[in-house]
Amino acid sequence: MKNFNIYAIVCIVILGLNCNNDNKPKKLKFTIIQEYPHDPQSFTQGLVWENNVLYESIGLENKSKLLKVDMITGQAYDTIHMDDHIFAEGICVLDSFIYQLTWQNHFVFVYRKSNFDLIKTFNIATEGWGICSDGQNLWVSDGTNTLYYYNPNDLGLIKKIYVKNKNVMISQLNELEYVDGFIYANQWNRNDIYKIDPIDGKVVGILNLFDLKNRAATKYSNIDVLNGIAFNSDSKTFYITGKFWPTLFEIKIE
């Protein structure tokens, strides 16, 4: 009986270790596929790729705008400027519309994707940081550990989730991108992108992009933080940049 108890205890410990390992987020790896020029004067807040068009939201008061960007040259070929008091934030594309957040203005602007006509403005209770779509509704971050799930038709709140790495809440979630059932989120002022399960808010993977930031800094010393995630659904690659970065990186997450 004594030997049986020891065997049972060992089995329980081993099972416990396996459970802990299962709960640990994977360290994601990447390879650089291509580098493209990016305007180092752009304070990038949001980035979206769709059908070979790159949409970008630029922040700061007196400088906020929405762009269509030629990836090969890094130059904008379609631009609208916000009012001087607006501080633009993240963007996403859903159907034929672009949704653009503002930081502390509590507005969400809805544009017609084809010509950037402003067709609707919603009010939002929280700050606006990052936004993405799962193809039906909108996920929004506000700089905390909370992600909000909204109906795009009236911006009615459907639910909230709280993002955590094991039992540690992950705050300052910023730019978002929805890919294959997961939310990828920048964490402001860090070099990490978190892969998040939208069912329960659990972090299942962490991608550290410190090397990309260093690489960008060799071309332009005045760079700011990592910010900007877009996914190319054709090539299954990601476009990554940051505020005042001179480079847009195309990477493959392994």
CATH number at residue 170: 2.130.10.10
At a CB cut-off of 8 Å and minimum separation 6, what does 77 contact?
A: 68, 69, 70
Amino acid (one-letter) located at 152: P
Q: How far is CA 70 from CA 49, 77, 212, in A?
A: 11, 7, 21
Does residue 11 lie within any of the structural domains?
A: no
Q: Is the dihedral of CA 13, 17, 19, 23 positive or negative?
A: positive
Q: How many domains does the chain have?
A: 1
Place of tokens 């760079």: 223
102 assigned to some structural domain: yes
Is 1 inside a domain boundary? no
Indicate whether 9 belongs to any domain.
Answer: no
Bigger pLDDT: 19 or 194?
194
Residue % of the chain over a pLDDT of 70: 91
Report, in angstroms and rounded to the nearest whole number, the Rg of the chain calculated over CA atoms. 20
Gap between the Cα atoms of 84 and 164, Å rounded: 36
Q: Tell me how far apart the alpha carbons of residues 102 and 107 are, in angstroms, rounded to a whole number.
A: 6
H or E element at residue 33: strand 30-37
Q: How far apart (Å, rounded) are the C-alpha atoms in residues 77 and 67? A: 7
21 or 71, greater pLDDT: 71
69 belongs to a structural domain: yes
* Residue 17 domain flag: no
| Tokens coding 247 | 């480079």
- Amino acid type, 157: L
> Which residues have CB under 8 Å from 148's CB, separation 6+?
126, 139, 140, 141, 142, 157, 160
pLDDT at position 15, please?
A: 44
For 102-135, how does the pLDDT look when each residue is reduced to its tens digit (9 = 90+)? 999 999 999 999 999 999 999 999 999 999 999 9
107 DSSP β-pair partners: 123
169 pLDDT band (50/70/90 cuts)? very high
Q: Do the strands 118-123 and 26-28 form a parallel or antiparallel pair, or are they unpaired? A: unpaired
| pLDDT at residue 8 greater than cutoff 60 | no
How would you class 46 by CB atoms within 10 Å of its CB: exposed for 0-12, middle for 13-18, buried for 19 or more? buried
* Among the listed residues 190, 192, 1, 175, the one whose alpha carbon sits nearest the alpha carbon of residue 89: 175
Q: Edge-to-edge, what's the strand order for the sheet holding 192-196?
A: 26-28, 203-208, 192-196, 182-187, 173-179
The mean-pLDDT minimum among 26-40, 132-146, 207-221 falls in 207-221
Domain that holds residue 138: 28-253
Distance between CA 109 and CA 181 in Å, rounded?
25
- Is 6 part of a structural domain of the chain? no
Per the domain annotation, does 10 fall within a domain? no
The answer to whether 108 and 102 have CB atoms below 8 angstroms apart is yes
The reported pTM is 0.89
